Amino acid sequence: MEQFLQQLLNGIAWGSIYALIALGYTMVYGVLKLINFAHGEVYMVGAMTGYYAAHALGFAVEPSFAGLFVVLVLSMAACAALGATIERVAYRPLRSAPRLASLITAIGISLLLQNGGQLLFGADPKFFPSLVAPREVVRAGGLAVSNIQLFVFGTTMALMVGLQLVVTRTRFGRAMRAVSVDAPAAALMGVPVDRVISGTFMLGSALAAAAGILVGLSNPKIDPLMGLLPGLKAFVAAVLGGIGSIPGAMVGGLLLGVVETLISAYVSSTYRDAIAFVILIAILLYRPTGLFGTGQVEKV
């Protein structure tokens, strides 16, 4: 039983990461109807930025919660800027071009960041500094919860609640929802669509950066290609929850993390990475709008 609970906890931990990244995919898809293939790489950049920031500011040597907080904020800010830049340079010029061109460009950016990352950061894995000394905090029966895991849960919850508040209670959030539903109408109503889209990218990228830092804390080995698989899986999570739906991304991420971990632990671990893709295919074929999504009709 404790084994099961332990695996469940692991699943939720990974699920939170997927959820944070998935939120970026889903928000961008909502406002632009574009799959931002490069998003997984933003997560990687977040982890890398955290690594360099921690070393540069001396937090690697002297770990502290304050240091962790600073690194987190810095990384989120840097990736927000990166996200906005990508949007401005690569996606905005193609807004009126056929969808395929944007998709191909997104793939191009993804490749650029991966390979550029290998050039810039070196292809060898680095070890994210432990900014917090790991400590077992809770022990119930055979179940162990560490302070890092608590931090991961806590941060994820805080960020998701924060996002929910932004989306439902702020003007920006309303504007974002308006653009998601009908961009031309929103523009006619005076919504600054370009700024909203920029802001959406920044928000999503910041969340991905946070995910990168959290992963760095719990799985310290980081490298320039670390964004590939989690990025794809987070995308699957977004589709699972219903692409374009924010609660969908959260639920989808957690669900995927748990299912993946449990199947990997109890059925077969060699096929772990394939599970997400199998779920993807199943969703696309049987319920393409996902758990929370709404369908769209083409006019003849």
Partner 1 sequence: MTRGARTAAVLIAAFLLLVLADQGLPRVLNSYYLTILARIAIAVLAAVSLQLVNGFTGQFSIGHAGFMAVGAYTGAALSVYGSAPLLADLQAWFPASVARALYFPIPLVVGGLAASLAGLLVGIPALRLRGDYLAIATLGFGEIIRIAILNIDAVGGARGFSLTEQAGVDLRYESLGAIGAVVAISVALIARLVYSAGGLAFRAVRDDETAAEAMGIATTRVKVEAFAIASFFAGVAGALFAHAEGYVHTNSFSFVRSFEIMAFVVLGGMGSLTGAAVAAAVLTAAPELLRGLGEWRMVLYSMLIILTMLVRPQGLLGTRELSLGFLSRRLAARPPET
Judged by the rule CB under 8 A, the positions of this chain that interact with partner 1 are 35, 90, 93-94, 97-105, 107-112, 114-116, 118-119, 123, 232, 235-236, 239, 270-271, 273-274, 277-278, 280-281, 284-285, 288, 300
Pick between residue 92 and residue 221 the one whose CB is nearest to partner 1: 92
Pick between residue 192 and residue 288 the one whose CB is nearest to partner 1: 288
| Best CA proximity match to 31, nearest among 212, 243, 225, 216 | 243
CB of 272 to partner 1, least distance (A): 9
Residue 122 tokens, joined: 């070196």
Pick between residue 61 and residue 101 the one whose CB is nearest to partner 1: 101
Pick between residue 66 and residue 107 the one whose CB is nearest to partner 1: 107
CB of 248 to partner 1, least distance (A): 16
DSSP state of 60: T
Pick between residue 175 and residue 256 the one whose CB is nearest to partner 1: 256
CB of 102 to partner 1, least distance (A): 8
Q: Rounded to whole angstroms, how far apart are CA atoms 177 and 76?
A: 23
CB of 75 to partner 1, least distance (A): 23
Answer whether 148's CB lies under 8 Å from 132's CB: yes
Pick between residue 50 and residue 227 the one whose CB is nearest to partner 1: 227
Q: Rounded to whole angstroms, how far apart are CA atoms 257 and 271?
A: 14
CB of 147 to partner 1, least distance (A): 35
Secondary structure E strands in the chain: 126-127, 136-140, 143-146, 221-222
Q: Is 136 exposed, middle or buried (0-12, 13-18, 19+ CB in 10 A)?
A: exposed
Pick between residue 96 and residue 135 the one whose CB is nearest to partner 1: 96
197: CB partners within 8 A, 6+ apart: 31, 32, 87, 92, 179
| Best CA proximity match to 45, nearest among 90, 85, 12 | 85
CB of 20 to partner 1, least distance (A): 20
* CB atoms closer than 10 angstroms to residue 160: 20
CA-CA-CA-CA torsion sign (256, 262, 267, 272): positive
Pick between residue 144 and residue 225 the one whose CB is nearest to partner 1: 225
CB of 85 to partner 1, least distance (A): 13
Q: Rounded to whole angstroms, how far apart are CA atoms 300 and 297?
A: 9
Biggest CA–CA distance in the chain, Å, is: 64
CB of 280 to partner 1, least distance (A): 5
